[in-house]
Amino acid sequence: MPNVRDIKKRIKSVKNIGQVTRALEAVSASLARKAQVQAFASRPYSQKAWEVLVNVASQSNSTNGAPLHPLLVVRPEVKTIAILLISGDRGLAGTYNANIIRVATEFVQAHCAQNGCGVRWITVGRKGRDTLLRMREQVVAEFSNLPASPSIQTVIPIARTVIDEFLSGEADQVFIAYTDFINTLTQKPVVVNLLPLQPFQTTDQPVMEYVKREPTVTTEGREYLYEPSAAAILDEVLPRFTELQIYQAILESLASEYAARMVAMRNASENAEALAGDLQLSFNKARQMAITSEILDIVGGVEALSGQAERIVADMQREFMMTEHGAR
Amino acid sequence: MPIHVEIVTQEKLILDEPDADMVVLPGSEGVLGVLPHHTPLLTTLDFGELRVKKGGTEEVFAVYGGIVEIRPDKVVVLADTVERAEEIDLELAEAARRRAEELMRQGPPPDELAIIAQELRRAELAVKIRRRIQSRAGTVRIREAGESES
């Protein structure tokens, strides 16, 4: 039986932990909401940029069939792929980090089984990087310690790295692995195509959930004038659109991370409460036990003493009798 | 017929004005004045001043690159960066301009030259637009930064 003081100490520390987890839960909840709002705010640009992109791309396709921009070129043979893995910098988020890393590596295995196996990883977030390095994967670039609510400026270097990987021919196709925020309790890790951009394949694009599919908007057969040229416009739109896709994937992932952390912390707080309750019970028991044993000690002492006294009296009487007899 | 003007950046929607009379844009091939029934046009934007006119008032923005989609009834500006003229902090912009000028005088390393030159252009533009807005404040009602939207 642990002693009363030890239990008291444990109760205190468990309650402290409970306080910390409750605070972290509240912080995560507000950050999750913020990331969601931020992701939502970039929606109009996604919508418009997509419309322009589809429009220009369809026009260029109809004229000579050849894509107008290198970022639109689908390579016939995909030898090496690059994966942009978005994970968190910190743990304490339930299965968030483990899930996205697992889904990404499983995707690679499935991909490898079909095609050759050249994979170059670009990681955002410390957890993903550390895990991949431990698995001795090839990590060609890493970005970590992103701010809690990143701006598009934070994303530009990441996008540049990704675009360079693709354009330099180091990778023939680029995928992005991120966690799609569905709601506070559900987040879905996904791997989708990032480059080359495929304007006519509307599924599998991170931004697509933000783009309303309105066939009337894009294919009105409107003939646009391009100034200075369609290629120049694509030059401007495509990198921006790629940045935006990465930006939104990061925001989705952040919202997911915070939501996962919030749920994990809520569970932790509840556990701490239950644990504190249990400990309180055993504390009461131990205290009761200590009191009982103290009383027993006293009673026993008294008992023992009183028995001893009787014996001493009896001995003295006997001795007295013997001396009396002897004297006679 | 009015023109519906939208200005968006990657981060958010900046302006949604359904009843503008005219838009003046800093196109890369020259300044464009867009009236209703303009022919469909897609063009890239330079650094410059963007004005949205409606009735007697006009809203002024500083635009730093982007593209614009023009349709007969609608103008959509996809800006790389954009600032409302009233929200430009003149002191900050002046300071940025002086810093960039100083760097240019010192002869920056070649790999940073382009960045600094762009920064300088940007700051000069911000200062110019903000100054013009201030000098005009008597004739056109301008919302001061920090003042409420109403």
**Interface test with chain B among A154, A236, A245, by most B beta carbons within 10 Å:** A236
In a domain, A235, yes or no: yes
List the single residue in A with minimal CA-CA distance to B65.
Answer: A236
CB-CB neighbours of A309 under 10 Å: 10
Stretch among A194-208, B1-15, B38-52 having the lowest mean pLDDT: A194-208
In a domain, A104, yes or no: yes
Using a 10 angstrom Cβ sphere, with 0-12 exposed, 13-18 middle and 19 or more buried, the burial of residue A257 is buried
**CA-based nearest distance A103→chain B, Å:** 29
Q: What are phi and psi of B84, to 5 degrees?
A: -70, 135
pLDDT at B52 > cutoff 90 = yes
> What is the mean pLDDT of the segment spanning B99-103?
85
Q: Where are the alpha helices (DSSP H) in A141-198?
A: 152-167
pLDDT at A262 > cutoff 90 = yes
**CA-based nearest distance B94→chain A, Å:** 22
Q: Which pLDDT score is estimated for B29?
A: 87
% of chain A beyond a pLDDT of 90: 38
Structure ipTM: 0.74
pLDDT at A213 > cutoff 70 = no
pLDDT at B33 > cutoff 80 = yes
pLDDT at B149 > cutoff 50 = no
In a domain, A272, yes or no: no
Q: Which pLDDT score is estimated for A217?
A: 44
CATH of the domain at A192: 3.40.1380.10
In a domain, A13, yes or no: no
Local structure of residue B63 (DSSP, 8 states): E
The shortest CB-CB distance from B13 to any of A44, A225, A244 is to A44
pLDDT, tens digit, for every residue of A175-209?
999 998 888 888 999 998 888 887 766 555 555 55
Total structural domains in chain A?
1
Q: Which pLDDT score is estimated for A25?
A: 93
A221 by DSSP, 3-state: which?
coil
